[in-house]
Amino acid sequence: MRPIGVFDSGVGGLTVVKELFRHLPGEDIIYFGDTARVPYGIKSRETVIRFSIENILFLLKHDVKLICVACNTVSSVALPSIKGHFRVPIVGVIAPGVREAVYATRNKRIGVIGTRGTIDSRAYDKEIKQLDPAIKVTAAACPLFVPFAEEGWLEGSEISSVAAKYLKPVKDAKVDTVILGCTHYPLLKPVIKKSLGDDVALIDSAKQVAIEVKKILAQEGALNNKSREGRHKFYVSDNTSWFGSVAGRFLGSPLLDVEKVNNV
């Protein structure tokens, strides 16, 4: 059975993997985290495109039937340029979340939070405006959310204070829907919700990506409908022990079998 391929610049893409586990429990999954070259957000467009192509070629060696780009930087910077060059379906994290947000908003005011690279690319803004030009978008970069998530600081006065400061412009804009534009951010849902209020809907791109993947595989007749538990393999380009331990915060339990790949 051909697996689903997933790649990210590091560990954040595991939030997408967790949703794939939930929505497609019978599917085999190959995950690659490019931990030797993280972060992608500070790299040039040309470099991000090159890294992305190399990551895709690695996954194709495993005969994957679909590739999920679980990285907002790649989805915003590289995906538009490389998507048409491969036969295998490639799903990014931006479009699925945007579609759900446009559907969910009642007052046509959407907030987008993400890393500086993602926010500066304005990829979410452009995608939202294509679907509905009348929607007002308020974006905010939240760079410290990533290290907080990776260190497991998911609650407490420190993260609450940072969240309140980062999210103030989004809250002041009176948005009713916010896209979590980074795959680390679902871990911080409670503190984000507390800062924005219960009336604001949080759109988890990871969940929407899993739903999109299932839809595409169903359309292509490539879903595994057998009642078996999927097998999962995790590869990184560096630091297997760190990745395995941090993975526990994203998946609920540490990964003991992580393989290092040289010369991706």
Query: Is 142 a catalytic site residue?
Result: no
Q: Closest Cα to residue 227, out of 24, 66, 3, 63?
A: 24
* DSSP β-bridge partners for residue 232: 29
The domain ranges of the chain are 4-92+207-260, 94-205
Structure confidence at residue 87 (pLDDT): 92
Q: Taking all residues of the chain, what is their mean pLDDT, rounded to a whole number?
A: 93
- Report yes or no: 33 and 233 within 8 Å, Cβ to Cβ: no
pTM: 0.91
- Regions of the chain with pLDDT less than 70: 263-264
How many residues make up the chain in this entry? 264
Between CA 30 and CA 59 the distance in angstroms is 7
d(CA 166, CA 26): 39
Burial class (CB in 10 A: 0-12, 13-18, 19+), 143: middle
Residue 196 corresponds to which tokens in the numbers above?
């924005």
Which residue is associated with the tokens 């979590």? 180
Give the active site residue among 182, 206, 210, 246. Answer: 182
- Hey, what are 174's tokens? 């009176």
State the Cα–Cα distance between residues 95 and 21, nearest whole angstrom. Answer: 21
CA angle centred on 79, ends 77 and 81, rounded to 5°: 90
pLDDT at 39: 85
Q: So what's the pLDDT on residue 84?
A: 84
- Coil vs helix vs strand at 114: strand
Alpha helices in 122-204 (DSSP H): 123-131, 145-151, 157-172, 189-196
At residue 254, the pLDDT reads 83
* Fold exhibited by the domain 94-205: Rossmann fold (3.40.50)
4-92+207-260 and 94-205, same CATH topology: yes
Topology of domain 4-92+207-260, CATH: Rossmann fold (3.40.50)
Catalytic residue chosen out of the listed positions 71, 90, 192, 210? 71
Asked if 182 is an active-site residue, the reply is yes
According to the model, what pLDDT value does residue 263 have? 65
